[in-house]
Chain A
């Protein structure tokens, strides 16, 4: 999506091209701030991931790839947290995107309260994730069991946060609740962008709602669906705030995700170099997914 922009940049000179201070003034400040606070720490981090740097010891030494070897051979907690993160991301992406698409289609009918429903479903997005975690901690530990007692539905009295096998699904519930509105909104924008003449023509030709969705709407929305899925995957792989406030990784380590493991390694156990090596691994995974996604999207856009 972004690569194709390059060709669109005009080649004409700016009207102020001859004034020497224009470029430094307009572009300079951002480049400086960005380089110092983004690029520099990033490159530094790649280097640190090959050292035994801690926050406490005054010096550190170069270890080569030893941190990475330790991570994959000795650190079961990290590998488990990584697997857990993938699992949460996968289930979350499936549920969020299917439901978001379903809701988006259902909310682009002519029903008069659709905008109100859309607003309600988007609402969690304006609440911070750390607060959402707390709200749901209250829901899972106080409200749902109480509702279960009152109604006699045994399902609701499950150990939502105390059972290591269930806690993962509790996290998915929050992720879907929090993130669905945003994705749904993007899909609604996509559906509204489809030329209505095409859909009307299909209607006249006797296309069922089902056919018109799978044959017309969905194919023309593929680039937007790719964006939605990508946002959702990268968001889920970075999940941190919600779990920090919901379970802090517990019970035991049952809900410790990769980001929580990295955060603790670096800021609680102070093994900054090793923590950063883990962060580099997570980054590589996210970068690969991003590049695949960009490739797919730009391919789809070019076809059009």
Chain B
């Protein structure tokens, strides 16, 4: 028994070392944000002599950080809102109707899990151009709905099976219509799955780079990963102080969210994995 306890302790300490190793890049990114260029170049690995905020101020103004943040928030929130609404509705309907047609629709949607994005990337830009969707935020949102919904539908569809039919049958007896039944009875019961869907989709949509890269051109519409990356290639190419600061600012919203909701986010990933 004592042997086992020391084993647990040693493993725990070793894993602590691994965790520290994992944080090294974040540590160096953070400390170099608070140094002027000279100090970044000549004493990169050292802790800052004094905290310098010039980089943050410059990136904030220069990269239109606030504008990028607003775009990212709008695009992510609208996509996820629509995915949750539409995927839960269709997941509910497909789960309850069963039969041949539902099975065919599900297999049709399953193709997104098999066909990778690269297969449609090039013609997608053409289709979007034909529909006047390129370089618009709503166009990007619609594409995220098309890509993100199938996975969400499967998660919902599986979850809804665990909800007894008697729930909606009693609502119908009380005279409720389909929409009323859905929104007042079913949707609230789906909350645990909805939080998993929100977590998985926001990790994907907020951090996505390739799709914004090929569809958004004007500066005013770019998302955080795209806007920051563009700046880095251009103006900040050899200015490590500004480059590294913009990396920190780009990651900050998600890092803050993670700091507060870490258990919740990891829990969502775990649930999604077991169900999927």
Contacts and interface: CB of A to CB of B under 8 A. Distances in A.
Interface string A1-33: 110011011111111110100110111011101
Given A37-B127, A182-B269, A127 B274 contact: no
Contacts of B247: 131, 134-135, 138
B146 A131 contact: no
Interface string A120-162: 1111111111110011101100110011001000000000000
B116 A110 contact: no
Contact of B270 (A189, A266, A275): A189
Contacts of A17: 97
A12 to B, nearest CB: 7
Contacts of A122: 262, 265-266, 269
Contact of B99 (A11, A19, A124, A136): A11
Nearest to A132: B25
B228 interface: yes
B105 interface: yes
A150 B46 CA distance: 11
B105 A109 contact: no
Contact of A15 (B169, B225, B243): B169
B154 A2 contact: yes
B100 to A, nearest CB: 10
B210 interface: yes
B interface, by DSSP: helix, strand, loop or mixed?
Answer: helix
Contacts of B168: 15
Contact of A6 (B15, B106, B255, B271): B106
A217 B128 CA distance: 48
Given A12-B165, A245-B232, A135 B15 contact: no
A280 B121 CA distance: 11
B235 interface: no
A120 to B, nearest CB: 4
Contacts of B157: 5
Interface residues of B, number: 113
B57 interface: no
Interface in B123-152: 123-124, 126-128, 131, 142-143, 145-147, 149-150
Contact of B258 (A103, A123, A259, A283): A123
Contacts of A86: none
A150 B18 contact: no
A26 B90 contact: yes
Taking each of A36, A119, A120, A240, which has the highest tally of chain B beta carbons within 10 Å of its own beta carbon?
A120
Contact of B210 (A19, A241, A275, A280): A241
A123 B26 contact: yes
B250 interface: yes
Interface in B98-134: 98-99, 102-103, 105-124, 126-128, 131
A146 B44 contact: yes
A217 to B, nearest CB: 15
Taking each of A12, A138, A272, which has the highest tally of chain B beta carbons within 10 Å of its own beta carbon?
A138
B105 to A, nearest CB: 7
A185 interface: yes
A185 to B, nearest CB: 5
B103 A123 contact: no
B142 A33 contact: yes
Contact of B228 (A42, A131, A138, A279): A131
Given A26-B89, A27-B93, A138-B28, A131 B11 contact: no
Contacts of A110: 8
B45 interface: yes
Contacts of B29: 135, 138
Contact of B165 (A15, A25, A267, A280): A15
Interface stretch (A74-82, A88-96, A286-294): A286-294
A262 interface: yes
Contact of B122 (A48, A123, A125): A48
Contacts of A147: 45
Given A9-B103, A45-B122, A290 B114 contact: yes
B188 interface: no
A106 B17 CA distance: 12
A272 B203 CA distance: 30
Contact of A143 (B18, B45, B115, B146): B45
A42 B127 CA distance: 10
Closest 3 CB pairs of A and B: A111-B12, A128-B207, A26-B93
30 contacts: A5-B157, A13-B97, A26-B178, A29-B90, A34-B149, A37-B142, A37-B143, A39-B111, A42-B119, A48-B123, A103-B15, A106-B11, A109-B12, A113-B12, A114-B12, A117-B12, A120-B22, A121-B19, A122-B266, A123-B23, A127-B254, A128-B209, A131-B247, A135-B29, A142-B40, A185-B270, A238-B116, A241-B225, A245-B232, A291-B114
